[in-house]
Amino acid sequence: MRRVTAALLVPAALGTALTAAPAQAHGGRPLGIENCTATACHFDVPPGTYDVTVRLGGATASSTRVTGETRRSLLPETAVAAGERVTRGFTVDVRTPEGEPTGPDGTPGLDLALGGSAPALAGIRVTPARHARRILLIGDSTVCDQPGDPYSGWGQQLPQYLRQGLSVANHADSGESTVSYLRNARLWAAVRQRIRPGDLVLVQLAHNDKTTDEATYRGNLETLVAGIRERGGEPVLVTPIVRRWFTADGTLNNPTALLVNGLGVDHPAVVRSVAAAHRVPLIDLTAKTRALVESLGVEGSKALYLYDEKRDNTHTSVHGATRYAELVRDELLARHLVPAGTVRVG
């Protein structure tokens, strides 16, 4: 993946205001503001999990957001009054490949980009995360770190809602079904080895199980649940996001929108059944996204998907992925899967 940089410029008056206490990376090399330009930072670090602390603000009013690696949203846009400074932190997963597991390796190390209406970075500190908890994601193109505009998966937007000490490792991959994810050594076999005791592992696979019969689909979900538990992780099953296909009465079409395949397999129903049978926490994202899409209506819901750009009613825009990431965040909190203090709300 190419290095991402922000298009908006930092006011020139802030150019000399960049200062930071040095941090220690593996091997003791300082990691601070000397690794940044006005719009981007690069840190030459090996794969791992890193805590990032940023100090935002400048002589004039500013508004800054931080993205990183393959277009991941790491910090929501943060407004700071003129002359003020605020400190924010997040934890980021650095790996190879840096985006989709079957994609190109991307740029080595950690890349961050500064965006927002008036970005201003006053300082930054990067250190290895010693005690971070991780949320690993297994999914398809509606979840993954999409490499280019206008596409975005909800897993790509989730990190901005997590505070320092809780990271997202997004191992979702475009085009994958439960069958292909389990068979590909770069996917399930690789992810399984990364799971540590205490990790949350969210699984949303259904969109590409178009020819998977019910017994196979159920068995594949059970295999994923068992494998996660064997490694000491906590599985969380997630029903798939809906497709934006309306009927004449303004409700979503079933089966097309609600993920019932050509064999009559009701994917969300099977996910719910497996979760209940094996006492796995469930995030019913089908129900949540359906309620949101129907509440917005035929016209209002277009912005959630890539209808205007691609006539695509399955894949989400950055806006849609962000709204859906908020739904996942809310469910993580409501089901007490993460402590309230580790999540950004509002």
**Calpha distance 264→287 (Å, rounded):** 19
pLDDT for 30 equals 46
Q: Is the pLDDT of residue 51 over 60?
A: yes
Other residues' Cβ atoms within 10 Å of the Cβ of residue 251: 12
**Calpha distance 208→101 (Å, rounded):** 17
**Calpha distance 2→104 (Å, rounded):** 10
Domain at 133-339, CATH homologous superfamily: SGNH hydrolase (3.40.50.1110)
User: Mean pLDDT score of the chain, rounded to an integer?
Assistant: 91
The answer to whether 70 touches 159, Cβ cutoff 8 Å, is no
The answer to whether 168 touches 178, Cβ cutoff 8 Å, is no
Domain boundaries, the chain: 14-128, 133-339
Tell me the pLDDT tens digit for each residue of 141-177.
999 999 999 999 999 999 999 999 999 999 999 999 9
Q: What are the backbone angles phi and psi of residue 297, rounded to the nearest 5°?
A: 85, 180
CATH of domain 14-128: 2.60.120.260
Tell me the pLDDT tens digit for each residue of 1-31.
323 222 222 332 233 233 333 334 444 454 7
Please tell me whether residue 110 adopts helix, strand or coil conformation: strand
pLDDT for 10 equals 30
Residue 266 DSSP one-character state: B
pLDDT for 85 equals 98
User: What's the chain's length in residues?
Assistant: 346
**Calpha distance 89→94 (Å, rounded):** 16
Q: Is the pLDDT of residue 254 over 60?
A: yes
Token digits of residue 309: 């750009």
Please tell me whether residue 111 adopts helix, strand or coil conformation: strand
Token digits of residue 337: 């899967």
Alpha-carbon distances of 33 from 19, 42, 99, 125, 129, rounded to whole Å: 6, 10, 25, 7, 19
The answer to whether 174 touches 144, Cβ cutoff 8 Å, is yes
The answer to whether 155 touches 322, Cβ cutoff 8 Å, is no
Tell me the pLDDT tens digit for each residue of 179-206.
999 999 999 999 999 999 999 999 999 9
Please tell me whether residue 267 adopts helix, strand or coil conformation: helix
Residue 108 DSSP one-character state: S
The answer to whether 279 touches 236, Cβ cutoff 8 Å, is no
- For the chain, where are the E strands, in sequence order? 40-43, 48-56, 62-68, 72-80, 86-94, 110-118, 121-128, 133-139, 166-170, 200-204, 234-238, 282-283, 305-306, 312-316
**pTM score:** 0.91
Nearest to 197 by CA among 128, 131, 279: 131
**Tokens 């290095």, residue located:** 3
pLDDT for 346 equals 72
pLDDT for 131 equals 87
Q: Name 2's Cβ contacts closer than 8 Å, sequence gap at least 6.
A: 106, 107
**Tokens 């809602």, residue located:** 161
Residue 289 DSSP one-character state: H
**Tokens 């059970």, residue located:** 222
Tell me the pLDDT tens digit for each residue of 80-115.
999 999 999 999 999 999 999 999 999 999 999 999
The answer to whether 101 touches 130, Cβ cutoff 8 Å, is no
